[in-house]
Amino acid sequence: MEDDELLQRITVDARVMVGKPVIRGTRIPVALILKMLGQGIPTEEILHEYPRLEEADIHAAMIYAARVVEHEDVFPLPSRGELMPA
């Protein structure tokens, strides 16, 4: 399945989970899936805990996160020692 096809599994709707990205047709936030993966929870366990999810939903969550981070602008701030006195 192509990335764009997978991303169709993610929706953002102000009426669902306060507009957070979720898996289409559920109230399962992308952030929850990513957090579980980050904690080392295996995909099989996530699918067992959330039977409405499919493995493609988990892949979609990872692709969504990668796209968000890819387009994020980062502006490094100087450390305290680099700040000029007022």
If one counts the domains in the chain, the total is 1
Q: Report if residue 82 sits inside a domain.
A: no
Burial zone of 49 (CB within 10 Å; 0-12 exposed, 13-18 middle, 19+ buried):
exposed
Q: What is the pTM of this model?
A: 0.81
Q: Report if residue 79 sits inside a domain.
A: no
Give long-range contacts, CB 8 A cutoff, 24+ apart: 6-14: 6/56, 6/59, 6/60, 6/63, 7/60, 7/63, 7/64, 7/67, 9/56, 9/57, 9/60, 10/60, 10/61, 10/64
Q: How confident is the model at residue 85 (pLDDT cuts 50, 70, 90)?
A: low
Residues 19-47 pLDDT 10s: 999 999 999 999 999 999 999 999 999 99
Residue 73 token pair: 């602008």
Q: How confident is the model at residue 86 (pLDDT cuts 50, 70, 90)?
A: low
Residues 46-60 pLDDT 10s: 999 999 999 999 999
Q: Report if residue 81 sits inside a domain.
A: no
